[in-house]
Amino acid sequence: MAGGAFESSVGGAKGKKEYPGELTGFLLFTCLIAACGGGVTAMTPFLQKFFPKVYRQEIGVDSANQYCKFNSVPLTFFTSSLYLAALVASVLASEATKKFGRKVTMFVGGLVFLLGAVLNGFAQNLWMLITGRILLGIGVGCANQSVPLYLSEMAPSKYRGALNSCFQLMITVGIFLANLVNFFTNKMTDGPVQGWRVSLGLAVVPALIMTVGGFFLPDTPNSIISRNKPEEAKKQLQRIRGPVNIDEEFTDLVAASRESQKYEGQWNNLMQRRFRPHLCLAILIPFFQQFTGINVVMFYAPVLFTTLGFGSSASLLSAMVTGGVNLFATFVAIALVDKVGRRKLFLEGGCQMFIFQVLIGVLIWVKFGTTGIATISSGYGILVVVCICLFVAGFAWSWAPLAWLVPSEIFPLEIRSAAQSIVVVVNMLCTFLIAQIFLIMLCHMKFGLFFFFGGMVAIMTVFIYFFVPETKGIPIEEVSQVLKNHWYWGRFITQDIELENKRKTLNT
């Protein structure tokens, strides 16, 4: 991709490849629009209407144990059904993304997301609520499958990290605005429209952005070439790169596409030995991202703060604060990811998250012990919130954007759509499992839950150190060379290529 440098060693000599091109206004606009693609669970009217048992537990009628206030199978299924739907949708979306292009998948996902938002806003019973949530999940699955690929293929390599991180930026903007809306609509208990309906219904805003953007945005040159339209792809590449010579980059894209067409069936390709490193990273990176414990903090923030003894409004305010930290720290990631590289952000963020995850566990242990019955002072509560904010910041400038960026840029064209689906499936499956069992784990493991996630953060940081190479500034169709030169992953790629060459020699 434009502006990036790629160094390889051939016969002891180093060669360097660069594509000309800068960040054009057209590219910036399209990527920002493409990137646009739970707080009500703490609202009393919402709980009274759909989850009366949880409401009784919250006010202490059925249970005074702070750890078990929100332990409810229907409530957790309402939250986690979105991720299960996204998991299924992402698999189906992979074929659509490959055959019809990235923008078509974004457009269809936006339409379904829009329908789900409307259904949630007008929900009259639990099944309407969950059906709307499932439709939202289908939209999320389509977006997560297509948007990271779109951004990585459109961006010049030296800006790829920043532009791809805009996907995560839009997520954090959504979380922050959702917490902001929840805080103010929580007071809307009287009148024809209650606050929780406004909170759920406002999901139509990102849905409209995604739908309209998916309709008007251009497709990526890589995707157009793969559908055998080279002339159209060349015009598109020239448009997004500006007034520079794009012949070398276009030639490489065409060559990569021809190479990918030699292999029939992208899912079968994934099983080949040469793609073992890509498959492992497609599974392990999103797996570790979800086991940082971030969903415990962000999606259940109002519930978590209420559990810690904050009032309903105070808990939503605290959640809004963490959402603001999340948003600010994402800007840090955008500023640094193409300068300091992926690995340094991964490693620093992992160390920071480990420290503050353990501190949160200790603070809750000291105050609530194993009984879960206690009250906390405002000063102690502020200390917990500060630790949570520093944990969130570490995640937001490392694992939040990078867990989407790195997988999307390491896959060669012949497996790119299928491999991205694996990333989304693993991400959504792990998110579903955590959302489904978190409140049960909190009820039984108590403060030990934070030590569990802290241990997972330590493991994944070691994994990054040994097994994830740096991909900063490398053209997207050349990133596989980095894995080929890796001390561990290289053996799979090299041996597989050697075996294939021997078979071709014997056949001829």
Cα–Cα distance measured from residue 431 to residue 427, given in angstroms and rounded to the nearest whole number = 6
The pair of structure tokens assigned to 63 is: 């249970």
pLDDT surpassing 80 at residue 2: no
Cα–Cα distance measured from residue 278 to residue 267, given in angstroms and rounded to the nearest whole number = 13
Average pLDDT (463-477) is 88
User: Is residue 71 very low, low, confident or very high in pLDDT (cuts 50, 70, 90)?
Assistant: low
The pair of structure tokens assigned to 362 is: 């200790």
Tens of pLDDT, residue by residue over 191-203, are 555 666 777 777 7
Q: What is the pLDDT of residue 359?
A: 92
Q: What is the pLDDT of residue 12?
A: 32
Cα–Cα distance measured from residue 25 to residue 241, given in angstroms and rounded to the nearest whole number = 10
Q: Would you tell me how many other CB atoms lie within 10 Å of the CB of residue 215?
A: 13
Q: Which residue has the higher pLDDT, 190 or 143?
A: 143
Average pLDDT (124-148) is 82
Per-domain residue ranges of the chain:
36-54+65-217+263-501
Coil vs helix vs strand at 169: helix
Q: What is the pLDDT of residue 19?
A: 63
Q: What is the pLDDT of residue 170?
A: 73
User: Is residue 237 very low, low, confident or very high in pLDDT (cuts 50, 70, 90)?
Assistant: confident
The answer to whether the Cα torsion of 186, 190, 196, 199 is positive or negative is: negative
Average pLDDT (462-482) is 86
The pair of structure tokens assigned to 444 is: 């039984």
Q: How would you write 258-315 as a 3-class SS string?
A: HHHCCCCCHHHHHCCHHHHHHHHHHHHHHHHHHCCCHHHHHCCHHHHHHHCCCCHHHH
Highest mean pLDDT (candidates 313-322, 336-345, 429-438): 336-345
Cα–Cα distance measured from residue 368 to residue 201, given in angstroms and rounded to the nearest whole number = 36
User: Is residue 47 very low, low, confident or very high in pLDDT (cuts 50, 70, 90)?
Assistant: very low
User: Is residue 14 very low, low, confident or very high in pLDDT (cuts 50, 70, 90)?
Assistant: very low
pTM here is: 0.67
Q: What is the pLDDT of residue 36?
A: 47
> With contact defined as beta carbons under 8 Å apart, do 179 and 319 qualify?
yes
pLDDT surpassing 90 at residue 495: no
Could you tell me how far CA 390 lies from the centroid of its own chain?
20
> With contact defined as beta carbons under 8 Å apart, do 404 and 167 qualify?
yes
Coil vs helix vs strand at 483: helix
Q: What is the pLDDT of residue 347?
A: 96
Highest mean pLDDT (candidates 244-258, 348-362, 402-416): 348-362
Helix (H) or strand (E) holding 8: strand 5-10
> With contact defined as beta carbons under 8 Å apart, do 364 and 384 qualify?
yes
Q: What is the pLDDT of residue 272?
A: 84
Tens of pLDDT, residue by residue over 83-94, are 788 888 887 887
Dihedral over alpha carbons 35, 37, 41, 44 (to 10 degrees): 100
User: Is residue 263 very low, low, confident or very high in pLDDT (cuts 50, 70, 90)?
Assistant: low
Q: What is the pLDDT of residue 153?
A: 80
Q: What is the pLDDT of residue 57?
A: 45
Residues 6+ apart with CB under 8 A from 189: 44, 45, 195
User: Is residue 450 very low, low, confident or very high in pLDDT (cuts 50, 70, 90)?
Assistant: confident
Q: What is the pLDDT of residue 448?
A: 84
Q: What is the pLDDT of residue 353?
A: 95
Highest mean pLDDT (candidates 24-38, 299-313, 404-418): 404-418
> 63-72, 250-259, 423-432: which has the minimum mean pLDDT?
63-72
Average pLDDT (297-326) is 68
> With contact defined as beta carbons under 8 Å apart, do 137 and 81 qualify?
yes
Highest mean pLDDT (candidates 181-190, 195-204, 240-249, 274-283): 274-283
pLDDT surpassing 60 at residue 4: no
Q: Which CATH number fits domain 36-54+65-217+263-501: 3.40.50.720, 1.20.1250.20, 2.30.30.50, 3.40.50.300?
A: 1.20.1250.20
Tens of pLDDT, residue by residue over 138-178, are 888 888 788 877 887 887 777 788 877 777 777 777 667 76
What is the chain's alpha carbon radius of gyration, rounded to the nearest angstrom? Answer: 24
Cα–Cα distance measured from residue 233 to residue 214, given in angstroms and rounded to the nearest whole number = 18
Q: What is the mean pLDDT of the chain?
A: 75
Coil vs helix vs strand at 446: coil
Q: What is the pLDDT of residue 466?
A: 95
The pair of structure tokens assigned to 163 is: 């532009």
Q: What is the pLDDT of residue 5?
A: 36
What single-letter amino acid sits at 259?
E
Cα–Cα distance measured from residue 176 to residue 162, given in angstroms and rounded to the nearest whole number = 20
Average pLDDT (223-237) is 87
Q: Which residue has the higher pLDDT, 484 or 8?
A: 484
User: Is residue 182 very low, low, confident or very high in pLDDT (cuts 50, 70, 90)?
Assistant: low
> With contact defined as beta carbons under 8 Å apart, do 361 and 425 qualify?
no
Going from the C-alpha of 442 to that of each of 284, 372, 388, 452, the distances in angstroms are 25, 10, 16, 11
User: Is residue 465 very low, low, confident or very high in pLDDT (cuts 50, 70, 90)?
Assistant: very high
Q: Which residue has the higher pLDDT, 424 or 311?
A: 424
| Cross-strand partners of 2 | 19
